[in-house]
Amino acid sequence: MKEIKQEFLTGERALFQGHDLRITDTIFDDGKSLLKESRNIELYGSMFK
């Protein structure tokens, strides 16, 4: 499982078709369909603006 920690992600489809991700303390900003077509995602302490 890939880990993403304390990132600031922007733009269209930031993690499009992401899979097997553990996302911690991350901010998703300014975009549509940030996790579109993604699967097996664990999300902790993160925020969508």
Q: Among 6, 7, 5, 13, which Cα is nearest to 30's?
A: 13
Note the pTM of the prediction, 2 decimals. Answer: 0.85
Q: How far apart are CA 16 and CA 12, in angstroms?
A: 8
2-6, 7-11, 27-31, 35-39 — which one is most confidently predicted on average?
Answer: 2-6
Please report where in the chains the tokens 């993690």 appear, as a residue: 15
Residues in the chain: 49
Q: In whole numbers, what is the pLDDT of the chain averaged over residues?
A: 93
pLDDT > 90: percent of the chain: 73
Whether residue 20 is predicted with pLDDT greater than 90 in this model: the reply is yes
